[in-house]
Each structure stands twice: as C-alpha cells, then as structure tokens.
Amino acid sequence: MNSNLGKTFGRSGKDKTSAKRHGRDDTPDNALAHPGLAARVAAAAILCDIVQGGHTLDEKFAPDAAPSRLVGLDERDRGLARSIVTVGLRRLGTIRLALSQLIEKGLPRNCGMLEWILIAGGAQILFLDIPDHAAVDLAVRATRLETKSAPFANLVNGVLRNLVRRREEFLDQSDPLEDDIPHWLAARWRRIYGEDRAHQIAAALRDEPTLDLTVKADSPDWAEKLGARLLPTGSIRLESHAPIPELPGYADGVWWVQDTAAALPARILGVTPGQRVLDLCAAPGGKTAQLAVAGAQVTALDRSAERLKALSANLNRLKLEAAISVGDAASFRAEPFDAILVDAPCSATGTARRCPDVLWTKKPGDIATLGAVQTKILDRAFSLLKPGGVLVYCVCSLEPEEGEAQIAALLRRNPDAAREPIDPTAFGLPPEAANSDGDLRLLPFFLPNDDPRQRGLDGFFIARLKRLH
C-alpha cells in the first residue's frame, strides 16, 4: 500500500491485494498519482475525521496535523481538499438527503469510507465549480482504493451520475434550517429566535464569506489599496478570496484577518493609551492586537501555550507588544486592571459561516459545560477590575446561556456591577443589533448585501459592564 494512501484513509496494508482483485487500472503504489485523486481521498477522510471523530477543520488543515491526511498534496490540491470539506460540512444535510433519496435501500454495511467518498463527490457536484465527469470519475477511483468500499464502485458511479441529473431538483427542495442545521440546534434556534429569524440565521450560514481585515490605521486608504470595501463597522472586507501572505501590507504587519463582528468587542471596550488592560482568553490575539494598537499596556492570558505561540507570532508580525501569560483565567491573580476583555471559550455556533465544522462537532451538552466555565471566568475577571473599571464580555455563540444569561447572573451576584448599554449605531450596526437590555446580539444575517460573499458577520453576544466601587 502506498504510504500516503495509508495515512489518508488510515487503513491497513490489506488494501493492496484488494485493489488488484477489483481490477482497478492504477497499481497501488501509484494509485494516488492520478491527477486530483489525492485531494478527493484526503477530503473524504477529513470529512469523516471531523463529523465522526469530532476534530476541527483548522486542526485537520494545520501544517503540523497528525496524522496528516494531506501528505504529498501540493498547495493547489490542499486548497481543493479544503474547499470540498468546507462546503461538504456547510451543506452536509442537503448532500445526505439527496444521497438518501438516490440510495433507497440505504448504504451497505461495513463499506469503509463509502459514505464520505459519496459526500465529497456530492459536495463537488452540487456546490463546486468542478466538471461533473471529474467529480464522478475520481469518486469511483477513490472507492476502488479501499478493500471495504471497492465492491461498491459501480454504485458510486450510478448514484453520482443520478445526482448530476437531478441536481436542480435537490437544490430547489433544500431548506437551510431544516436540512443544513443539525436538528437539535435548529430546534433550539426556533425556540429562541422564532421560525423566521432562525430561518434567516440558517440561510446566512450557507454563504461563504470573503475575509475581513482589521487595519492598524488608515482603513479607507488600505481598503483602496487592497481593492476592498470599507464596512460601516470599520473593518475592511476583501472582494474575493486571495492568498493572505501575498496581499499588500501583510509582510509589513499593517493588518490582520479578523471577522468584523470579532473586531467589535475591543472597539466597544474603548481603551486609551497607557491603561492597564487584561485580555483573558486572548489567543490567537486578534483582540490583543487591537488593544495594543490603541496604546494600552496589555496582558494577554490564555490557557493554551500552543495558541499563545500563534499570538506571539502574530504580534511580532504586527510589531506590537503585550505581556503574555499562560494560565487559567478562572484562577488568574494580578493587580487590578483599568479594563478587561473576556472573549470566553464557547460553543462558537455564531462562527459556522466560516467554520461549518462547529455545526457537527458541538453537542447539546457542550452548552451547559461551557456555561459553567464562562461563569467562573467572568467572576474572576470582574474581581480583577479596578473601581470605575470597564469589562467587555463576549462570545461568538448564538446561545443565550452563554451570553445574555451569563450577564444577568453576574449582575445578580455582584451589586457592584452595572451594565453600560451599547449604542450599536455608534459602531456602524443597525439599531436591532442591541437587545432590550442594551447588550449586542449580533446575528449572522446582519450587514445585508446582494453578493452572498459580501454579506453577514459572525454571530456574537457582547456586553459592557462597569465596576461601581
């Protein structure tokens, strides 16, 4: 068995004989050499790792991922594999529904990677600009590479050809909330936001956005230089996808990638030069960079030494400084701070536009577990605030247990804490971005635009509190 194939499918050497038995035209040792096949095999394996194994998209595409499904793939094929996986996750429900209608008896038992090969093929046929014949042919070849799936190569061929034929029908009947959001989460959003808003959220999560950048200074200037759009929130939004390190200003540390919603908490904290500011849960440092640019003396704390390495590298590129500390935010001790930013670990359901893996890796129980962590971190953070100091709490979650309920409970526990209502229009947001308490509840369908890649933002909850005494 080709060693790369072993890593991508993670199967044993038995596959070598099976390949010959099923009469495929590649020999095992050069099997993956067929143009584009390695990218499809990697995509199928990574889809399985994420949906069944609970790994994240970023983990699986990290340069040091172990075991790597991407060994031997050039940049182009890695990009292609990532596109297949991303859209495969974003539209997993739609693809599965179509496949289930095409395979009436259901998938055969014990068929190895068959389901994931079909899903990767379906993602290409339904959603990517890839010739249908290539998507079908490469899925069939991928099926033949593995002992358990090899007997079903004809089934794959037939099913995917039918998918091509009935593509418009399947796309027309697909409903964003019903089909592409896991049922437990769709039911939650219906209960919390009502049918219409839940639907709008789900529809917004189908769009694949371009990148937003936060610029150190002169955003309008840089928007022009990058051919990008200046958003009312102050970020700039690229017009199309582009390799980040090749863009003007990257090497000089002029800007960094940050969703426009993620750039708001630091703006709302509004620190001034020389203030002592604590950024709890800081890595990889998008918000730390904003606080440092504002001239604050920033302490950046995170539990993950690994992620703090990325924070440190990011600050170096941006020529910014912060005191970096590894530790648990729930027990961190220090002299009181003028301002504190708490970007708490959360279910991240608001980020599913860019990270559709969260839809399939998060489970209902995670929300309560994370809620308990958030409560501890928030209590500790508030205790580290000087009298008169300001704290901004945020989560990139759409779940009220992680947002609204955390702040309501903190206010009940601390008579010394007062909410400072946020005016969304002061930050380029529509008035409905604030809830009736004056906290921000950002929904992914805000910032509408006719171009699907140009609209929306991450779902966030943001509250601003003051310590009275």
Ligand X SMILES: C[S@@+](CC[C@H](N)C(=O)[O-])C[C@H]1O[C@@H](n2cnc3c(N)ncnc32)[C@H](O)[C@@H]1O
**x/- track of binding to ligand X for residues 352-391 (CB under 6 A):** -------------------------x--------------
Give yes or no for a contact between 193 and 199, defined as CB atoms under 8 angstroms apart: no
**Is position 328 an interface residue for ligand X (rule: CB under 6 A)?**
yes
**Is position 281 an interface residue for ligand X (rule: CB under 6 A)?**
yes
**Is position 398 an interface residue for ligand X (rule: CB under 6 A)?**
no
396 a catalytic residue? yes
**Is position 282 an interface residue for ligand X (rule: CB under 6 A)?**
yes
CB atoms within 10 A of CB 231: 19
Among 95, 135, 198, 283, binds ligand X (CB under 6 A): 283
Candidate ranges 64-72, 301-309, 353-361, 399-407; the one touching ligand X (CB under 6 A): 301-309
Candidate ranges 97-105, 142-150, 174-182, 279-287; the one touching ligand X (CB under 6 A): 279-287
Pairing mode of beta strands 255-257, 236-237: unpaired
Among 343, 399, 402, 458, binds ligand X (CB under 6 A): 343
CA dihedral 103, 104, 105, 106 (to 10 degrees): 50
Task: Give the whole-angstrom CA distance, residue 467 versus residue 95.
Answer: 50
For ligand X, the closer CB: 209 or 284: 284
Task: Give the whole-angstrom CA distance, residue 153 versus residue 139.
Answer: 8
**Is position 24 an interface residue for ligand X (rule: CB under 6 A)?**
no
* DSSP secondary structure of 161-195: HHHHHTHHHHHHH--HHHHHS-HHHHHHHHHHHHH
The distance of closest approach from Cβ of residue 97 to ligand X in the complex, given in angstroms and rounded to an integer, is 32
Among 137, 146, 212, 302, binds ligand X (CB under 6 A): 302
**Is position 304 an interface residue for ligand X (rule: CB under 6 A)?**
yes
Amino acid at 20: K
**Is position 225 an interface residue for ligand X (rule: CB under 6 A)?**
no
Task: Give the whole-angstrom CA distance, residue 95 versus residue 90.
Answer: 10
Candidate ranges 74-82, 124-132, 159-167, 324-332; the one touching ligand X (CB under 6 A): 324-332
**Is position 303 an interface residue for ligand X (rule: CB under 6 A)?**
yes
Candidate ranges 157-165, 281-289, 400-408, 411-419; the one touching ligand X (CB under 6 A): 281-289
Closest CA to 46 of 19, 67, 15, 16: 67
**Is position 458 an interface residue for ligand X (rule: CB under 6 A)?**
no
Q: Locate 15 and state its tokens.
A: 């596959």
Candidate ranges 109-117, 142-150, 296-304, 360-368; the one touching ligand X (CB under 6 A): 296-304
Among 307, 317, 419, 453, binds ligand X (CB under 6 A): 307
| CA distance to 172, 298, 313, 387, 451, per residue, from 325 (Å) | 51, 11, 14, 24, 42
Q: Is 403 helix (H, G, I), strand (E, B) or coil?
A: coil
End-to-end, the C-alpha distance of the chain in Å comes to 69
Candidate list 111, 346, 355, 396, residue with the active-site label = 396
Give yes or no for a contact between 394 and 464, defined as CB atoms under 8 angstroms apart: no
The distance of closest approach from Cβ of residue 100 to ligand X in the complex, given in angstroms and rounded to an integer, is 35
Q: What is the CA radius of gyration of the chain?
A: 24
For ligand X, the closer CB: 192 or 310: 310
The distance of closest approach from Cβ of residue 425 to ligand X in the complex, given in angstroms and rounded to an integer, is 24
CA angle 337, 338, 342 (to 5 degrees): 70
Binding residues among 259-278 for ligand X as defined by CB under 6 A? 262
Among 82, 287, 353, 362, binds ligand X (CB under 6 A): 287
| CA distance to 78, 119, 144, 312, per residue, from 136 (Å) | 19, 11, 13, 44
Candidate ranges 110-118, 326-334, 356-364, 405-413; the one touching ligand X (CB under 6 A): 326-334
Cα atoms in the 13 Å half-sphere on the side-chain side of 141: 23
- 3-state percent helix, strand, coil for the chain, nearest multiple of 5: 50, 15, 40
For ligand X, the closer CB: 284 or 356: 284
Query: Residues with catalytic annotation?
Result: 396
Interface residues toward ligand X, by CB under 6 A: 262, 281-287, 301-304, 307, 328-330, 343, 345, 377
